[in-house]
Amino acid sequence: MWWKQEKNVTGFLTLANTTPKAMNATIQIEDNLGAVLGSHIITVPPQGMTTLDLLELQTAATKEGGIRVTYVGAPDALLINGGLEDVGVGYSANLPFAAPERTPPKGAHAIIPQSFTELGLMTGQADPYMSFPAGTVFTPYSMVRNVSLSPIMVTPTLWWMQGGVPTSFRLPSIRLLPYQTYSLDMPSLLASAGLKDFSGSLNMVLDTQGQTGLLMAAGSVDQTNTYVFEVASRGVVKSAGKSLSYWSTGNGDDTMVTIWNPADEEQTFIFRLVFAGGHYDDLMTLAPRATAMFDISDIVRNAGADAEGNIIPPGTQEGSAKIVGIEAENQHILLAVDSGIYNVRKATCVQSCLTCDGTTSYWVALSPFGVAVSSQTQENLQAQWNTGAQYNYTSNSSWSSSNTSVATVQTGLVQGVSPGSLTVSGGTSGEPVYANYCGPYPTCPIFGGGSGSAPGNVGKKVTIVSTDCFHTGAAGDTPYFASWGDPNNISGCSLTEQIDDFPATPAGSCVQVTSSSGNTKNCWQTNVNGCLTTTCAADTRTVNGDCSQFLDSTPEIVTKVGCS
């Protein structure tokens, strides 16, 4: 999407080829209704870059429009960037790009936000604490483009703090045609909301009712077009912790952070500054719909010891930051956040990348598993988080069995029905997936949930009744075990032990079973040419899960199935 803040704004496009072969790309420059103003076919050399000046912007009859780049190749084979500029006054802004929607990862589903936020839009006289030249006045801007093939309805709402109370004003809805670009008339909208003479910060909320395909750009610019404060559009979606990649308070820099609570209830969370050698926690509470806007230099300058006794060492000027719930790092929170590193002396403002904490993988333990007919075994859905922690999602997941005639499963509890094989699966749809967002596409997280599965077997019902049957030898010889049913040389047999529904575990695995007399035994199975041999002994020792060496020395129960 492109726009002209004033008539002398021009633009450029940079394409980087990440592949070892030359790549052709087609670039179309469009007006605000999607009509083509110019078309270019350029060749980007292998692992090289090409820059294209957007000359069509100088003669365009409209003040906004679109750019479409198409090529044949992998999704990330061609990296695209661009900007708007007027070197005469020092104006510059980034060109936002959005790639077509991609298929969610296996086991995940797309979370489609209902609303998007543009936080910290400045209007009116600049706040004196930011040290702008006297008389600096800001005007916000907000641009939207429909990059889908269907119309999109967008309803803007302004939110601001007045007398410490969150206040809102709903604006008329906008119907965007396919590939239409629209510039909101912010001065008129502010006047209609009674904010013509308001000085401070605003939040713009764009409600789309779950429609996809919206590209957005927003920010504030002063009357000289020298200071441009861009803000990112963020999807309003419940997630877990969110991290700001970098903050700086050195060499004339400061980092402005805006946090908005879109929830219907008050929320308390931890704003954590991370720096070399430690961290510092600042406890924050926001009322429903309330906004907090602050500079990190304020925290660094005024911080005492936090609840853990941590302090910010003198001279600390950079680091990262994180927002988490007060209960746990995987606690779900509904917050929108944006930040920017600005330098009044240099007239620069750079947005921070946003990282959303979340899951990186799911699995079901145990895998594989064995269960007996009419018996139960508990399976659990585990998830790995990017923070290094692991969490159990068994109770809030959906479970299924690939063969309910063999076994059923509910909340991870597998119930054996009849002998056979199956796969049980568990999945959750409400957990965020770890992702990092440096570009303008606004949802955090994009995908939620995940799943895992495990194969298993349900065992045949068997009865074993001999534990003390031995082959006999000459006087003084040590007796040794013989399988029950051996008709030769058996003495001292006693029918004292019975094991029903022995789990049919994969060959080579070791399981613990309990006999009818309550004794716990390790059992080991082997399968050689269809001869399934189960050996059990009271010795429950294992070495890395292997119990065969102990079972072979003092077996108490042996059964053979399918042996000639």
* 199-248 pLDDT, tens digit each: 999 999 999 876 778 899 999 999 999 999 999 888 888 888 888 989 99
Q: What per-residue confidence (pLDDT) applies to 267?
A: 95
C-alpha 78/C-alpha 99 separation (Å) is: 11
* 484 Cβ contact list (under 8 Å, min separation 6): 464, 465, 466, 469, 493, 557, 558, 559
Share of the chain above pLDDT 90, in %: 57
In order of their start, the domains of the chain are 1-95 (2.60.40), 113-235 (2.60.290.11), 238-357 (2.60.290.11), 359-458 (2.60.40), 470-561 (no CATH)
Q: How confident is the model at residue 482 (pLDDT cuts 50, 70, 90)?
A: very low
Res. 516: pLDDT tops 70? no
The tokens for 166 are 């969150």
* Alpha-carbon gap, residue 64 to 182, rounded angstroms: 7
pLDDT exceeds 60 at position 496: no
**CA 243 to CA 247: how far, in whole Å?**
11
Find the Cα–Cα–Cα–Cα dihedral 232, 236, 238, 241, rounded to 10°. 20
Distance CA(470)–CA(483), nearest Å, equals 8
The pLDDT of residue 377 is above 60: yes
pLDDT tens string 183-197? 999 999 999 999 999
- Cα 145 to Cα 216: distance, rounded to the nearest angstrom: 6
Q: Give the bridge partners for 61, in sequence order.
A: none
Position 169 pLDDT exceeds 70: yes
Distance of alpha carbon 231 from alpha carbon 125, whole angstroms: 18
Contacts of 518 (CB under 8 A, 6+ apart): none
Q: Report pLDDT for 191.
A: 95
pLDDT at 490: 38
Please state which of the ranges 103-117, 371-385, 404-418 shows the lowest mean pLDDT.
103-117
**Which tokens in the block code for residue 356?**
């959303």
Q: Are 537 and 467 in contact (CB under 8 A)?
A: no
- Per-residue pLDDT tens digits for 318-367: 999 999 999 988 898 999 998 999 999 888 888 888 888 889 999 998 88
C-alpha–C-alpha distance, residues 379 and 375, integer Å: 13
How confident is residue 479, by pLDDT bands cut at 50, 70 and 90?
A: very low
pLDDT of residue 488: 38
Query: Tell me, what's the pLDDT at 535?
Result: 74
Question: What does the pLDDT read at residue 543?
Answer: 73
Reply yes or no on whether the pLDDT at 497 is more than 50: no
Please check the confidence at residue 469 and state whether its pLDDT lies above 50: no
Specify the pLDDT at position 447.
Answer: 63
Residue-wise pLDDT tens digits, 15-32: 999 999 999 999 999 999
Is residue 106 very low, low, confident or very high in pLDDT (cuts 50, 70, 90)? low
Mean pLDDT of the chain: 84
Question: What is the model's pTM?
Answer: 0.76
